[in-house]
């Protein structure tokens, strides 16, 4: 095991400052007690050495809020505490599924999830989070429960906002948005959530949130009190809550077990892959080993009252930026959380809920930013169709249905483009080897659904080949997902060791370099060449 470095301790402390308010905010938005998010992050730090991704930070994430709050509501049948306990049981069973996935080595299947569908799901999650949390920012309890009903209620919440609560929430949101925009080295090192808390807590004291009271402003009467502050137990041990397994065999419970297991697994492993891509030392993680760590961590967290955990991308990116070197940074982030919550629960109690709501509104706005919609449109109309379909179906139904619809639509789209069903899941590959120069020719479609077979052949040959070329000249379709994954594989192996050819014969769905490509007929290819030559001549003459 690697020894802890000074950088790991420093990064762990800085991540602790970011994670402290976020963990409580995510728990609150999920229908769990605020301390539940902290328990999860502590467990996440403890299981860090069991995983394979050395620089990821494990803890609660906004991506699972929608599933968690729905599970608490449905399983509790109007009783939040009962729903919390039954959701813990669901999370435990989902953790067992994740452990089974790891032993069955199914982690690699997370690789083939199409980016357009993942981004559509995350954008929908962002809208749902904002729709729920913006009312708390105004100090108003909404009547509606569905995302659209909550969005429609926003004007009414603005009309009836509580000025003292909103002033704290608005100031926090201003800091969260504005501080990262300051292009100074010192500003990059200061966690915006921490600044929001340090400014918001004194305001809560000035407004005397500790005691319930009325105040008048512009002839309107408003109420504030401790219910607008974070509630934490005086003793961390008293926060431990055991699952209620009484309804675990019901259809509703099973639905959420599958959703937690699948969505949590995919989101976590996508984060691991993303962190590997920006790891300064270019380490490649074992996805199944990391999934095992996540599963064990989730099993422990659910048995003591914690939220479901994943490898979280924002904190992991900050961990790398802070110069972390090993697993110890994740461990120290959990250790600092444990020490602080155990020693200073009264300090945390003074954090206004409006600040946590502001953090979640900010997080949701980043997930559903207009730039995400514009990016997917630029990748191609086909990808935007998949993105938007997943987005809308997730809003109207739930995450599992939204993702499943997106995947089915993607397969149907490829079939309409002429991809034979029998090769949609198993590509036609031909391998030639001339004195160590290996060429892997792909015939038929190269799709997200058969990418793993292509990857397996590449990895099998690249260790012994002098040079390796993957040839798409005869591939009828090369989809967006396959191109991204192949390019990522090329980056890891090295451009000198893996050459990609044959995509110039294809028509691209857009100008984006990774847009879906369809093989042109000989006549159309000739016309494309003439058009290209004509444009070159025109450019020279011009």
Digitized pLDDT (tens) for each residue of the chain, 542 residues in all: 678 888 899 999 989 988 999 899 999 999 999 999 999 999 999 998 898 888 999 999 888 998 999 999 999 998 999 999 999 999 999 999 999 999 999 888 888 889 999 899 989 999 999 999 999 999 999 988 888 899 999 999 999 999 999 999 999 999 999 999 998 888 888 888 889 999 999 999 999 999 999 999 888 899 999 999 998 887 888 889 999 999 999 999 999 999 999 999 988 988 888 888 778 887 888 889 999 999 999 999 999 999 999 998 888 888 888 888 899 999 999 999 999 988 888 888 899 999 999 999 999 999 999 999 999 999 999 999 999 999 999 998 888 889 899 999 999 999 998 888 888 888 899 999 888 889 999 998 999 999 999 999 998 888 888 889 999 999 999 999 999 999 988 888 888 889 999 998 899 999 999 999 998 764 444 444 545 544 444 444 44
User: Distance between terminal CA atoms of the chain?
Assistant: 64
Task: Supply the pLDDT for residue 515.
Answer: 94
298: tokens are 């989730």
The torsion angles phi and psi of 30, rounded to 5 degrees, stand at: -90, -5
The torsion angles phi and psi of 190, rounded to 5 degrees, stand at: -100, 120
- Residue 41: C-alpha distances to residues 59, 275, 276, 378, 487 (Å): 4, 18, 21, 37, 33
Task: Supply the pLDDT for residue 214.
Answer: 92
DSSP 397: S
Q: How far apart are CA 412 and CA 335, in angstroms?
A: 49
Q: How far apart are CA 105 and CA 235, in angstroms?
A: 40
Q: How far apart are CA 113 and CA 123, in angstroms?
A: 16
| Whether the Cβ atoms of residue 74 and residue 310 lie closer than 8 Å to each other | no
Q: How far apart are CA 166 and CA 354, in angstroms?
A: 7
What's the predicted TM-score (pTM) here? 0.85
Q: How far apart are CA 72 and CA 305, in angstroms?
A: 13
The helix/strand/coil state of 280 is: coil
Q: How far apart are CA 387 and CA 510, in angstroms?
A: 15
CATH node for 422-541: 3.30.750.24
Task: Supply the pLDDT for residue 530.
Answer: 43
Task: Supply the pLDDT for residue 521.
Answer: 66
Task: Supply the pLDDT for residue 111.
Answer: 81
Task: Supply the pLDDT for residue 424.
Answer: 87
Beta bridge pairs of residue 498: 468
309's torsion region: left (phi>0), alpha (psi -120 to 50) or beta? Answer: beta
256: tokens are 């959420």
User: Residues of CATH 3.30.750.24 domain(s) within the chain?
Assistant: 422-541
Task: Supply the pLDDT for residue 1.
Answer: 60
């Amino acid at each position: 095991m690697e020894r802890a470095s000074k950088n790991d301790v420093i990064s762990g402390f800085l991540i602790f400052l970011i994670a402290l308010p976020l963990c409580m905010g995510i728990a609150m938005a999920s229908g769990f007690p605020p301390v539940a998010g902290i328990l999860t992050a502590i467990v996440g730090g403890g299981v860090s050495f069991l995983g394979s991704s050395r620089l990821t930070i494990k803890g609660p994430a906004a991506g699972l809020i929608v599933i968690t709050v729905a599970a608490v509501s449905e399983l509790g049948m109007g009783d939040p505490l009962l729903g919390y306990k039954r959701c813990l049981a669901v999370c435990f069973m989902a953790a067992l599924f994740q452990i089974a996935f790891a032993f069955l080595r199914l982690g690699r299947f997370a690789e083939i999830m199409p980016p357009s569908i993942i981004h559509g799901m995350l954008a929908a999650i962002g809208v749902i989070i904002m729709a729920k949390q913006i009312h708390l920012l105004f100090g108003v309890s909404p009547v509606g429960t569905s995302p659209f009903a909550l969005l429609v209620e926003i004007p009414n919440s603005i009309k009836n906002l509580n000025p003292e609560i909103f002033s704290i929430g608005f100031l926090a949101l201003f800091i969260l948005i504005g501080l990262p925009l300051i292009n100074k080295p010192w500003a990059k090192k200061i966690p915006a959530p921490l600044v929001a808390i340090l400014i918001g807590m004194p305001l809560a004291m000035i407004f005397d949130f500790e005691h319930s009271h009325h105040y008048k402003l512009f002839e309107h009467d408003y109420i504030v009190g401790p219910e607008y502050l974070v509630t934490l137990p005086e003793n961390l041990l008293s926060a431990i809550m055991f699952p209620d397994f009484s309804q675990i065999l019901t259809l509703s419970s099973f639905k959420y077990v599958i959703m937690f297991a699948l969505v949590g697994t995919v989101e976590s492993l996508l984060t691991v892959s993303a962190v590997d891509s920006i790891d300064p030392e270019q380490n490649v993680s074992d996805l199944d080993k990391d999934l095992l760590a996540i599963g064990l961590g989730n099993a422990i967290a659910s048995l003591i009252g914690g939220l479901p955990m994943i490898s979280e991308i924002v904190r992991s990116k900050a961990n790398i930026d802070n110069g972390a070197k090993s697993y110890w940074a994740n461990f120290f982030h959990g250790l600092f959380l444990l020490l602080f919550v155990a020693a200073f629960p009264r300090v945390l109690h003074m954090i206004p809920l409006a600040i946590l709501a502001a953090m979640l509104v900010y997080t949701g706005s980043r997930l559903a930013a207009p730039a995400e919609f514009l990016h997917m449109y630029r990748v191609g109309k086909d990808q935007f169709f998949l993105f938007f379909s997943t987005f809308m179906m997730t809003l109207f139904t739930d995450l599992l249905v939204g993702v499943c619809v997106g995947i089915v639509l993607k397969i149907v789209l490829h079939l309409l483009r002429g991809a034979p069903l029998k090769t949609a899941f198993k590509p036609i590959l031909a391998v030639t080897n001339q004195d160590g120069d290996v060429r892997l020719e792909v015939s038929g479609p190269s799709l997200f659904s058969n990418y793993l077979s292509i990857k397996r052949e590449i990895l099998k040959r690249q260790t012994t080949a002098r040079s390796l070329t993957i040839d798409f000249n005869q591939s009828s379709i090369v989809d967006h997902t396959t191109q991204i994954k192949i390019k990522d594989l090329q980056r890891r192996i090295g451009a000198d060791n893996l050459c990609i050819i044959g995509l110039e014969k294809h028509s691209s769905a857009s100008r984006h370099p990774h847009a879906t490509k369809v093989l042109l007929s000989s006549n159309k290819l000739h016309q494309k060449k003439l058009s290209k030559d004509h444009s070159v001549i025109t450019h020279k003459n011009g």
